Amino acid sequence: MAEKISFQKITLQNLELACQIQNAIFPEEDGRQNFIEQINNDPYRKEQDYYIVYADSNPVGVTGIYSYHEYPIDAWLGWFGILEEYRHHNYGGIALDKTIDLAKQKGYSNFRLYTDEYAKSAHKLYESRGLIKELYDNPDDQDNFIPAKIYIYSRSLTSKPITKWNNKVLGLKEQSNKEHNVQGFIMQYQLSQAKSNDISKIKEYKLATIIYANTNISFEDKEKIINYVNENIPKQISNYQKILINEKTIGCLLVTPYKEGVLLDEIYLEKKYRGHYIGTKIITNICSQNNKVYLWVYKTNKKAINLYQKLNFQIIDETATRFFMLHTKKGKNL
């Protein structure tokens, strides 16, 4: 690989690019507030340094280091990831090595990070760099929006052996609240019954949902889909709900009765409102209100599958192109 991997610190000038990259890698998370804290030298952390990762002149990912006032010898990896189209070129491994070296240069004794149970490929990368894994299950510090198991990986940057984290408070709950805060306010959604004058907007959303999930649709199939949508949306409009932010329609939701639970038939958000936990909140609320929630998802939609698994959906069936998934409320049997 001939490309040179370099870091460019996030500033006001490149903030939007950094957020665009971060949201593409972590579509249901928002690092903007952390980046702004770095730019403003916010005393919230002992240190926060975030960077755009470049391969030559191409921005390919993000990375960062932060530390706690209470634990000044520990450097934590922050917002680390490589854009999907640039993976499998070892950019992630090189960027991680450079971040670890940067932590050493800054004088830290330990290098740590936390991740969830579903980031399997990342786990392999961390373990290949000698980081030691431990479960983080502090009952007073859980992210209630995404109930996944959290693991901490640690490595000594000195000749001394690494000391485990041993469930000291990480601030996951605080960080989760920070990610829900978008430019100073929390996006609160409302649901409203769709009416006949919403048919054209719902058609637009439905077509975007199907075509987004099927990028290789032929012209003939696209025509069939358009005809299907035009014929069926008017019949189903009373079952749809509009998703509103500040009384503006930004998406739609279709939930229908299915067996002993409900089928999450469709959820769509306009692009600018993705990555702010709105979809996660809606799905979490549906799951809390129903013993069983079913849904179909295209196998090519890796981001959605990852989110559903984090929310404890399980694959119970599949076709050639789609998974059928089920969420069962705790305490209820399959």
Rounded CA-CA distance 217/11 in Å is 40
172 lies in the same domain as 205: no
pLDDT given at position 333: 47
118 lies in the same domain as 212: no
**Entry pTM:** 0.65
The top-scoring range by mean pLDDT among 92-106, 179-193, 199-213, 242-256 is 92-106
* DSSP letter string, 176-245: HHHHHEETTEE--EEEEE--GGGHHHHHHHHHHHHHHH-TT--HHHHHHHHHHHHHHHHHHGGGEEEEEE
Question: At residue 61, what is the residue type?
Answer: G
pLDDT 10s digits, 299-316: 888 778 888 888 889 999
Domain span at 139? 5-182
Q: Is residue 212 over pLDDT 70?
A: no
Q: Does residue 116 belong to any structural domain of this protein?
A: yes
170 lies in the same domain as 192: no
Q: Is residue 64 over pLDDT 50?
A: yes
Where do we find the tokens 């391969």?
A: 55
Average of per-residue pLDDT across 37-59: 91
Q: Does residue 334 belong to any structural domain of this protein?
A: no
pLDDT 10s digits, 75-112: 999 999 999 899 888 999 999 999 999 999 999 999 99
243 lies in the same domain as 225: yes
144 lies in the same domain as 192: no
pLDDT given at position 215: 60
Q: Does residue 333 belong to any structural domain of this protein?
A: no
Residues 6+ apart with CB under 8 A from 299: 305, 318, 321, 322, 323
Work out how many domains the chain is built from and give that number. Answer: 2
pLDDT 10s digits, 282-300: 998 999 899 999 999 988 8
In the sheet with 189-193, reading across from the earlier edge strand, the strands are 189-193, 240-245, 248-258, 261-269, 292-298, 322-328, 314-318
148 φ/ψ angles, rounded to the nearest 5 degrees: -105, 155
Domain boundary among 141, 167, 182: 182
58 lies in the same domain as 163: yes
Work out the pLDDT band at 334, boundaries 50, 70, 90: very low
148 lies in the same domain as 227: no
Give the CATH number for residue 311.
Answer: 3.40.630.30
Q: Is residue 184 over pLDDT 50?
A: no
183 φ/ψ angles, rounded to the nearest 5 degrees: 50, 45
Q: What is the DSSP letter of 273?
A: G
78 lies in the same domain as 178: yes
272 lies in the same domain as 318: yes
